[in-house]
Amino acid sequence: MDPDTTESQSGSPPQPDRGFDLESRLEARQRHGLRRELEPAADVSARTRIGGESQLVFAANNYLGLATDSRVQQAAASAAHAVGTGSGASRLITGDTELHRELEGDLAAIKHTDRTLLFSSGYAANVGTIAALDPDVIFSDELNHASIIDGCRLSDAETVVYDHCDAESLATELHTRAETAADDEQWLIATDTVFSMDGDVAPLAAICDLAERYGAWVLVDEAHATGLYENGGGLVQREGLSDRIDVQIGTLSKALASQGGYVAGSETLIEYLVNEARSFVFSTGLAPPAVGASKAALRIARDGECRKSLWENVETLRDGLESMGYRVLGETQVLPVLVGDRADAIALDERLREQGIVAPVIRPPTVPDGTSRIRVAPMATHTEANIDRCLTAFETVGTNLELI
């Protein structure tokens, strides 16, 4: 007798299988071309070995190339030796060290704020901060990072999505809401500053104008901007808006070549988050080697030479790709090469890899239908020969695929 289709000896009816059919879910992702796999690299430098093959990497967010800089590596090792390999506890117990405080002071200085607070990741900083603020309404750019989207969900706020980088759309949504809103509603406008898939930037000054008109707070995510602009700051600093933006969030894992996130703002904001941000309160303090590495990377970024090299590489790549006939979106260090057709973009990705260039395809649902692209992310440590090889590969493959 089949025990799944008969009553048990106790006489109770059989129970259905309430487990998870993960094989079917994976097969569905495979059918839709959405299944991904881990592919380990030998290291995180501009040139590495992936799958046994030598590749030039134009896919990383290690924009300044500092993850393999000897000064940053030594700082991480020194922090591990002096403080420990891990914090061992949350910051509110025994995981708060002078090293953490020093980096927070350095970040506050470049962000022009009273204080900063370190989190275990940029993701944790966003979800923890938005949920802790507990706004009634969040006005969110439609292309905001997943961590902002998840923060909106965790906060249980009403979320109003406005058109991407469109201050007029935001103004319309604010005006519409203001017509019926109670006077005690708390509003938050949330946006990335640099958008990682389009390489464009938020209209920060216009957003600040609208926030001030309607009495809202502004939260920005500087993940793809921190360390890349004047004195190691982000777009907020480039635009001179530090005193008009209430919450500046960022990461240490991109230009600052380490791990972790931060929130910068007023003394009161940071003290409140120390007590209310669950992703801070209930997480072990950031590992000392990550703190030491970030501190050294920030110092190097402020010096400016690596930033200069990055922007020179960005300009050379953009000019070269556009001269071939490619359409390159954005205005930042993220260079999305628009292909359009999903199959063409996948083919371009695969052929570039055959040429020794890693520049990943970005396709729906990450981006809208008809806008598949190759995301090119140069580093300051790419040499002139590396850039030339990348351009040659794009020209050869694009010609063969009749894309240019």
Residues 56 and 125 in one domain: no
In terms of domains, do 59 and 120 share one? no
Kindly tell me if the per-residue pLDDT of 6 is higher than 60: no
Residue at 257 is within a domain? yes
Choosing from 100, 111, 145, 254, the catalytic residue is 254
| Residues 278 and 315 occupy one common structural domain | no
Identify the three-state secondary structure at position 146. helix
pLDDT interval class at 36 (50, 70, 90): confident
Residues 199 and 106 reside in one and the same domain: yes
Do 146 and 78 fall within a single domain?
yes
Q: How far lies 331's CA from each of 119, 197, 319, 380, 403, in Å?
A: 29, 12, 12, 17, 22
Q: Select from 165, 158, 127, 212 the least CA-distant residue to 332.
A: 165
Residue that finishes a domain, picked among 258, 274, 303: 303
- E-strand spans in 51-112? 53-57
E strands along 10-127, which residues? 47-50, 53-57, 115-119
Q: Looking at residue 45, what is its pLDDT? A: 86
pLDDT score of 143: 96
Number of domains in the chain: 2
Q: How confident is the model at residue 40 (pLDDT cuts 50, 70, 90)?
A: confident
Instruction: Give the span between the Cα atoms of 342 and 364, in whole angstroms.
Output: 8
CATH number of the domain encompassing residue 341: 3.90.1150.10
Neighbours of 48 (CB within 10 A): 18
Q: Is residue 31 in a domain?
A: no
Strand partners, 337: 328, 374
Residue 207 placed within a domain: yes
Is residue 297, in this structure, part of any structural domain at all?
A: yes
CATH number, domain of 112, equals 3.40.640.10
* Residue 327 scores a pLDDT above 90: yes
Residue 9 has pLDDT above 70, yes or no: no
pLDDT of residue 10: 63
pLDDT category at 7 given cuts 50, 70, 90 is low
Give yes or no: residues 238 and 189 share one domain.
Answer: yes
Full strand arrangement of the beta sheet holding 361-362:
327-328, 335-340, 372-376, 361-362
Q: What is the pLDDT of residue 296?
A: 98
Kindly name the residue from 224, 253, 295, 382 that is annotated as catalytic. Answer: 224
For range 248-263, the mean pLDDT: 98
**Does residue 24 have an active-site annotation?**
no
Write out the two tokens for 156. Answer: 């249980």
Alpha-carbon distance 79 to 42, whole Å?
24
* Percentage of the chain lying above the pLDDT 90 cut: 88
192 pLDDT exceeds 70?
Answer: yes
My answer on whether 88 and 123 are in the same domain is: yes
Tell me: do 239 and 222 sit in the same domain.
yes
Cβ neighbours of residue 270 closer than 8 Å, sequence gap 6 or more: 114, 115, 116, 117, 263
Residue bearing tokens 């396709």: 363
Q: What is the pLDDT of residue 1?
A: 46
Same domain, 49 and 87: no
- At 113, list the tokens: 């704020």
Q: Is 196 a catalytic residue?
A: yes
Contact 300, 71 (CB under 8 A): yes
Does residue 212 sit in the same domain as residue 361? no
**Range with the lowest mean pLDDT among 47-56, 183-192, 289-298, 384-393?**
47-56
Q: pLDDT tier at 4 (50, 70, 90 boundaries)?
A: low
My answer on whether 241 and 343 are in the same domain is no
d(CA 68, CA 338): 30
The structure tokens listed for 160 are 């109003």
| Active site annotation includes 32 | no
Considering 303, 330, 345, which residue would you say is the last residue of a domain? 303
In angstroms, the CA 263 to CA 250 distance is 7
Domain assignment present for residue 19? The answer is no
Q: Which domain holds residue 174?
A: 70-303
Same domain, 122 and 235: yes
Please check whether residue 26 lies inside any domain of the structure. no
Residue 4 domain-assigned (yes or no): no
pLDDT band at 104 (very low <50, low <70, confident <90, very high): very high
For position 8, what pLDDT does the model report? 55
- State both tokens at 345: 């973009």
- Domain final residue, candidates 303, 327, 351: 303
- 16 part of a folded domain: no
